[in-house]
Amino acid sequence: MAETSIYRVPTGMVLLRGEFGAVGEAAAHVAGLDVPEQRRITGGPERALAWMSPDELMLFCAPGAATGLAQALEEKLTGVHHLALDVSAMRVRFRVTGPFVREVLAKLSPADVSPAALPEGEVRRSRLGQVPAAFWASGTDSFDVVCFRSVSDYLEELLAHSAAAGPVGFF
Amino acid sequence: MSARLPTGGRLLDRSQPLDFTFDGKRLHGYAGDTLASALLGQGQMLLGRSFKYHQPRGLVASGAEEPNALVGLGEGAFFEPNQRATAAELHAGLTATSQNHWPSLEHDVGAVNSALTRFLPAGFYYKTFLWPRSFWKHVYEPFIRQSAGLGKPPQEADGSTYEHFHVHVDLVIVGGGISGLAAALTAGREGREVLLIEQTAHWGGRAVVDAPQIDGQSAEDWVKSALQELETMANVRMRTRTMASGLYDHGYLMAYERVSDHAPATPGPRHRLWRIRAEETRLATGALERPLSFAGNDVPGVMLASAVRDYLVNWAISPGDRTVVVTNNDDAYRTALALYRAGLAVPVIVDARPQVTGALPQAARDAGIRVEPGRAIVKVDGKKRVTGVEIGLQLGEGGAMEHIACDAVAMSGGWSPAVHLWSHCGGKLTWDEAQALFRPDASRPPRGDKGQPIASVTGTANGHLGTAAALADAGLELDVSEPAEEPMAPVWIMPQGAGPALKRKMFLDYQNDVKVSDVELAAREGYESVEHAKRYTTLGMATDQGKLSNINGLAVLSGALNAAIPATGTTTFRPPYTPISMGSIAGAARGPLFQPVRRTPIHGWHEANGATWEPVGQWRRPYAYLKGAEDRHTAVTREVQAVRNSVGLLDASTLGKIVVKGPDAGRFLDMIYTGRPSSIAVGKCRYGLICNENGFLVDDGVVARLAEDTWLCHTTTGGAEHIHAHMEDWLQCEWWDWQVYTANVTEEWAQVAVAGPKARAVLESLGGMDVSKAALPFMTWAEGELGGLPARVFRISFSGELSYEIAVPADRGMELWEALLQAGAAHGVTPYGTEAMHVLRAEKGFIMIGEETDGTIIPQDLNLGWAIAKKKEDYLGKRAQERPHMADPKRWKLVGLEADGGAVLPEGAYIMAPGENANGQRHTQGRVTSTYYSPTFGRGIAMALLIHGPDRMGEMVEVTDGQGGAITARVCDPVLYDREGERLDG
């Protein structure tokens, strides 16, 4: 199945931990995006703000922009208990595009990736194969997938394997 | 002899003949055949040999419950043993081989004759082979290994691929018979998300064979219209060739799709393992017909009545010219009538019931078929093939009143709902006295996390054997026209007064060769629990999982115990319902995808430069770099010497790095570590120890203070994830009101140790940061640009040399490595691996988590009291370390050992003490924790734990040499290299 493409998207990433009540406004201001609700992601392909846990957000931005954004958050949050770090090198972001992209993921993740359970705007932190991963619909027939750098070769091969095996015909 | 009839066969496509081979013999069938039907069509009735006695066995059933017809399918990389011929769809070029015989299926020298079977009774494992003791190893075990087992394992790696598929639905319906279809229609019309799965390639189950009229149409037409409606529903998904193999906790259902077994050339996976998380699992799994227990019921040609009907209607198979039907119920008369209508002879219907008055028997009588009520088959004649039956009284003892010549016997002992999935996860059964069957007890279902039922049962599987009742149970009240049936009569032994000679030939479990006599013997020998009797006799074990044998077996057991059947109960049904392929379980996880390997940013360089690997967690770290013809030892020696004499590079990216920040971070770290990280000044580093709450040392590493409220904690490579989890556990569960955030940033940074007397010179030639002793003394760190890369430089040493660890963002790690290689070229910079690192640290007397510690060691054992803040009120492990055993002066403590003659002591060797314990084992007083050849000292060095060790310097001890002897060693200071620390401070 040649229809599925898998490529790496160079990305800046900023980790922000804090109580959303205390840090949400600064995050929204610095990111220029709304603070996402539980399990949601706001923004678009260029810049997005993802809910990671009840006290953790992840800001996805253009490559090279993370250091500045992390510093901006630091400044904005002076005196507020938080943790803001440039973690751009820690993870790898893939874009997986193809007519049965949800099935490519459903072969690898126990999460419900049906359009009803995982519409655009939802982000899921789960696993793909044997590694942790987060993913969200980044367009029709397109998902963005984030995993740790050390296992990115594994995941790339796994995604390719899953796509090459062809569609299941379920979604 | 079985044969193909010239017309008929609802599943056959006679325009598509297919060639296949069985034991090398070229045979012919048609598209739509199963391997079983094709073999029968070619007159091949003998298909295998039984497990224990190697008795000739033929087909008994037509579906998943078939116990005998297990064959090897495919060849070479595509060979798979133990496949049911009844479940294998025929395709062109199919290659099948029979199993469990030698030298051939027709002539098996292993066949155990009836005289010998007396020496293989129930429980023969436990009795026969106990004595004499040596016979087990040399006589019995080789014999059992030779004769046991069914198919042979494949000899080549599997050439097929497999995958998993996870789905979440409201309702999964198992079984595509009319009950399953009706349930899907009902739920689909309600708008629920439904997945309907069927294990065979066809919808409709038994109804399309038994042909009741449903809703004014034939069953076939009703099934077609139901499918048409379901296909229009976007919320209903359907899969054939998909068998639900097991129901697990929380309603997790595993299903096994045989994607391309029927069409092997199809690209894509051969099998797909569905992992289904459904709100509800509805079981429409139907029922399985039970055999009758009469002597010779295992002779090829004796089949279930329903199977005879299936073969006839679906595949136009005549089981033989003359088929005797034997039954205790009306349903089997359908088989007699079907045979009659096909123009075949039914010499007699032997019915165990004294009165036979139903509509179906009447139809048989009207057709001129002889019906004999109150009769039994006393014995089947024939060995490899039925040649006739002896008829007698069911109430008698087995006296033959009449011999009837025949080619086949169609038997029916009634029906048992397929309750396997219901039972897998704890659903209970109730005994239905009238129908003599166990059916699911709706009041005791398998339950989910909130106590809710996770499964329900519908249709025949729920004990509704009639079509109308089954459909109504599935939610559809439809007009059904089918003959009414009179009650069946439970018949567990035929004839009821049969003596031992007959009972020894009545098979309950065909696959495992368990007979009525075996179960009765088990009962006599005290195996009253059905679970014990199962294990004693092997009844219902292995791939059969009691599909045919369970009810008959426990009924016989109940009879022998004089107990009611429900009081005896059933054995436990276990997944899988029928075996699934190992490949489907592995899915994509094979070859390079078997397990993820974590790669540092510099991994590729290591690979290309002779790295020989050491697995550390899921990382692969270079153990050493082999140059040219070097072996590991030579390479390690070269690397150690390079670090001691010039400069080496170590990829330390795998070390754990956890950022801890917040107003309470210092207080928090003072609890996590035994020391006092809160007192580290910004810009400085300190070595720290982490203990668990039992006081045992679990991790160590250097802590750097990044800012007033921020620390960076280095952990061991293997410790990063669990130390981070340990911190979060304490923060979230115990000290939830402390203001601290942590982040595991291990993978954000590539880290390289530059170690050796020339380390500073290398960094200086990179330029950009002042790395002088004055600007960056030992145990400090600085941030800046090194050779144009944003870097944190830590002045720390695990080698005992002048050493820097340089951290850069991971995506620039390779740049750093290359720059260091270039800058160090003038000094002969040498990349070194984990073994050189181990040797260097051992020469310096540094401990290693996992070498000097094993989960039972406290810091005090390792003379690390200096790293414990004794005045601190508390830290994790403090109170545990004050327990008497922990404070005992007799605990083994860390020392160095120097073996006589410079030998390298064996790993893990014990230090012997005088005398022996009660078991005749030598007393011990310590053990070796680390041992290496030291290139620096030119001899073996070792670290060890020894009772009163630090007080025994210079004493000679005896260390086991692993071969029954001893090596003499002198107790010494573990710190051998640069005791004053001038070099690392340099």
Q: What is the ipTM of this complex?
A: 0.97
Q: Please say if the pLDDT value at position B548 is more than 50.
A: yes
Residues in chain A closer than 8 A to B810 (CB atoms): 89-90, 149
Task: Parse chain A into domains and list their residue ranges.
Answer: 10-86, 90-164
Is the minimum CB–CB distance between A8 and chain B shorter than 8 Å? no
Tell me the backbone φ, ψ of residue B452, rounded to 5 degrees: -75, 150
Residues 6+ apart with CB under 8 A from B922: B910, B912, B913, B915, B916, B960
Q: Please say if the pLDDT value at position B54 is more than 90.
A: no
Question: pLDDT digits over B972-986, tens only?
Answer: 999 999 999 999 888
Same domain flag for B650 and B780: yes
Residue B124 confidence class, pLDDT cut points 50, 70, 90: low
CA distance to A106, A168, B192, B203, per residue, from B274 (Å):
10, 11, 19, 19
Residues in chain B closer than 8 A to A15 (CB atoms): 743
pLDDT of residue B540: 81
Residues in chain A closer than 8 A to B588 (CB atoms): 107-108, 129, 158, 161-162, 165
Question: pLDDT digits over B641-665, tens only?
Answer: 999 999 999 999 999 999 999 999 9
Same domain flag for B631 and B766: yes
Q: Please say if the pLDDT value at position B435 is more than 90.
A: yes
Contact A170 B167 (CB under 8 A): yes
Please give the biggest Cα pair distance in chain A: 54
Residue B544 gets which letter from DSSP?
G
d(CA B791, CA A170): 49
CA distance to B121, B642, B824, B837, B839, per residue, from B828 (Å):
77, 8, 6, 18, 20
Nearest Cα residue to A26 out of A64, A83, A67:
A83
Query: Is the overall model pTM greater than 0.90, yes or no?
Result: yes
Structural domain boundaries, residue B511: 506-578
Average of pLDDT values for B599-617?
A: 97
d(CA B543, CA B87): 14
Same domain flag for B371 and B455: no
Residue B51 confidence class, pLDDT cut points 50, 70, 90: confident
Is the minimum CB–CB distance between B123 and chain A shorter than 8 Å? no
Picking from A55, A131, A157, the nearest residue to B592 by CB comes out as A157
Is the minimum CB–CB distance between A65 and chain B shorter than 8 Å? no
Residues 6+ apart with CB under 8 A from B184: B173, B194, B196, B226, B230, B236, B238
Picking from B165, B587, B749, the nearest residue to A168 by CB comes out as B165
> Burial code of B649-680, b = ≥16 C-beta within 10 A, e = fewer?
bbbbbbbbbbbbbbebbbebbbbbbbbbbbeb
Residues in chain A closer than 8 A to B196 (CB atoms): none
Q: Please say if the pLDDT value at position B7 is more than 70.
A: yes
Same domain flag for B317 and B346: yes
pLDDT of residue B147: 57
CA distance to B695, B895, B912, B932, per residue, from B927 (Å):
21, 10, 9, 15
Pairs across A and B, CB distance < 8 A? 112
What CATH architecture applies to the domain A90-164? 2-Layer Sandwich (3.30)
Evaluate whether residue B138 is within a structural domain: no
Question: pLDDT digits over B506-531, tens only?
Answer: 999 988 889 999 999 999 999 888 88
pLDDT of residue A1: 44
Average of pLDDT values for B323-330?
A: 98
Same domain flag for B742 and B757: no
User: Which SS3 state, helix, strand or coil, does residue B6 take?
Assistant: coil
Question: pLDDT digits over B413-422, tens only?
Answer: 999 999 999 9
Number of folded domains that form chain B: 6
Same domain flag for B646 and B780: yes
Q: Please say if the pLDDT value at position B148 is more than 80.
A: no
Average of pLDDT values for A59-79?
A: 96
Q: Which two tokens stand for residue B402?
A: 């009449």
Mutation pick from A16, A23, A90 vs chain B, by most beta carbons of B within 10 Å, is A90
Residues in chain A closer than 8 A to B619 (CB atoms): 150
Residues of chain A numbered 114-133 and touching chain B (CB < 8 Å): 114, 117, 129-131
d(CA A29, CA B929): 56
Residue B533 belongs to domain with CATH number: 1.10.10
Contact A112 B272 (CB under 8 A): no
d(CA B404, CA B394): 16
Residue B425 gets which letter from DSSP?
T
Contact B601, B748 (CB under 8 A): no
Residue B117 confidence class, pLDDT cut points 50, 70, 90: low
Edge-first strand order for the sheet with B70-73 is B25-31, B13-22, B94-97, B70-73, B80-84
Helices (H), B562-702: 565-568, 582-586, 603-608, 632-645, 665-672
- The beta strand positions in B8-59, using DSSP E, are 13-22, 25-31, 46-49, 56-58
User: Which SS3 state, helix, strand or coil, does residue B556 take?
Assistant: helix
Mean pLDDT rounded to a whole number for chain B: 94
Question: pLDDT digits over B727-754, tens only?
Answer: 999 999 999 999 999 999 999 999 999 9
Nearest Cα residue to B804 out of B822, B813, B792:
B792
Helices (H), B482-598: 500-503, 516-524, 530-537, 550-561, 565-568, 582-586
Evaluate whether residue B805 is within a structural domain: yes
Share of chain B above pLDDT 90, in %: 88
Residues in chain A closer than 8 A to B593 (CB atoms): 129, 154, 157-158, 161
Is the minimum CB–CB distance between B810 and chain A shorter than 8 Å? yes
Q: Which two tokens stand for residue A41?
A: 């992601």
Is the minimum CB–CB distance between A90 and chain B shorter than 8 Å? yes
Contact B745 A85 (CB under 8 A): yes
| DSSP codes joined into one string, B167-181 | EEEEEEEE--BHHHH
3-state SS, B71-120, equals EEECCHHHCEEEEECCCCECCCCEEEECCCCCECCCCECCCCCHHHHCCC
d(CA B477, CA A149): 59
Average of pLDDT values for B939-961?
A: 97
d(CA B183, CA B174): 10
User: B590 burial class (0-12, 13-18, 19+ CB within 10 angstroms)?
Assistant: middle
Contacts 24+ apart (CB under 8 A), B815-821: B815/B789, B816/B750, B816/B752, B816/B786, B816/B787, B816/B789, B816/B791, B817/B602, B817/B605, B817/B649, B817/B651, B817/B750, B817/B752, B819/B766, B819/B787, B819/B789, B820/B649, B820/B752, B820/B754, B820/B762, B820/B766, B821/B649
Residue B171 belongs to domain with CATH number: 3.50.50.60
User: Which residue of chain B is at minimal alpha-carbon distance from A163?
Assistant: B268
**What is the nearest CA distance from A123 to chain B, expressed in angstroms?**
17
Average of pLDDT values for B73-100?
A: 94
Same domain flag for B365 and B377: yes
Q: How many helices (H) and strands (E) does chain A have?
A: 4, 10
What CATH architecture applies to the domain A10-86? 2-Layer Sandwich (3.30)
Residue B486 gets which letter from DSSP?
P
Is the minimum CB–CB distance between A52 and chain B shorter than 8 Å? no
> Burial code of B247-263, b = ≥16 C-beta within 10 A, e = fewer?
beeebbbbbbbbbbbbe
Residues in chain B closer than 8 A to A57 (CB atoms): none
User: A105 burial class (0-12, 13-18, 19+ CB within 10 angstroms)?
Assistant: buried
**Location of structure tokens 């200096």:** B866
Nearest Cα residue to B616 out of B813, B797, B805, B838:
B838
Residue A34 gets which letter from DSSP?
P
> Burial code of A127-156, b = ≥16 C-beta within 10 A, e = fewer?
ebbbbebbbbbbeeebbbbbbbbbbbbbbb
Domain stop point among B719, B747, B775: B747
Same domain flag for B512 and B570: yes
| DSSP codes joined into one string, B767-813 | -SS--STTTS-TTBEEEEEETTEEEEEE---SSSSSEEEEEEEGGGH
Within 10 angstroms of residue B725's Cβ, the number of other Cβ atoms is: 12
Residue A36 gets which letter from DSSP?
P
Q: Please say if the pLDDT value at position B311 is more than 50.
A: yes
Residue B1 confidence class, pLDDT cut points 50, 70, 90: confident
User: Which residue of chain A is at minimal alpha-carbon distance from B710?
Assistant: A83
Cα B774 from chain centre: 60
pLDDT of residue B55: 80
User: Which residue of chain A is at minimal alpha-carbon distance from B167?
Assistant: A112
d(CA B515, CA B507): 4
Residue B592 gets which letter from DSSP?
G
Cis peptide before B495 (omega within 30 of 0): yes
d(CA B944, CA B955): 14
Same domain flag for B818 and B675: no
**Location of structure tokens 């229809």:** A3
Q: Please say if the pLDDT value at position B144 is more than 70.
A: no
Residue B903 gets which letter from DSSP?
P
Mutation pick from B598, B658, B717 vs chain A, by most beta carbons of A within 10 Å, is B598
Side-chain-facing half-sphere of B565: CA atoms under 13 Å: 20
d(CA B513, CA B495): 20
Residues 6+ apart with CB under 8 A from B883: B695
d(CA B96, CA B79): 9
B813-824 and B759-766 are packed helices; what angle lies between their axes, rounded to 10 degrees? 110
Same domain flag for B177 and B242: yes
Is the minimum CB–CB distance between A88 and chain B shorter than 8 Å? yes
pLDDT of residue B116: 54
| DSSP codes joined into one string, B677-716 | GGGPPTTBEEEEEEE-TTS-EEEEEEEEEEETTEEEEEE-
Same domain flag for B693 and B557: no
Q: How many helices (H) and strands (E) does chain B have?
A: 28, 52
Q: Which two tokens stand for residue B129?
A: 């082979």
Average of pLDDT values for B413-433?
A: 95
User: A118 burial class (0-12, 13-18, 19+ CB within 10 angstroms)?
Assistant: buried
d(CA B968, CA B905): 10
Tell me the backbone φ, ψ of residue B970, rounded to 5 degrees: -100, 135
Question: pLDDT digits over B685-723, tens only?
Answer: 999 999 999 999 999 999 999 999 999 999 999 999 999
Residue B330 gets which letter from DSSP?
S
Question: pLDDT digits over B467-516, tens only?
Answer: 999 999 999 999 999 999 999 999 999 999 999 999 999 999 988 889 99
Residue B142 confidence class, pLDDT cut points 50, 70, 90: low
**What is the nearest CA distance from A124 to chain B, expressed in angstroms?**
15
Question: pLDDT digits over B380-389, tens only?
Answer: 999 889 999 9
Question: pLDDT digits over B763-774, tens only?
Answer: 999 999 999 999
Share of chain B above pLDDT 70, in %: 95
Same domain flag for B754 and B743: no
Name the CA radius of gyration of chain A, rounded. 16
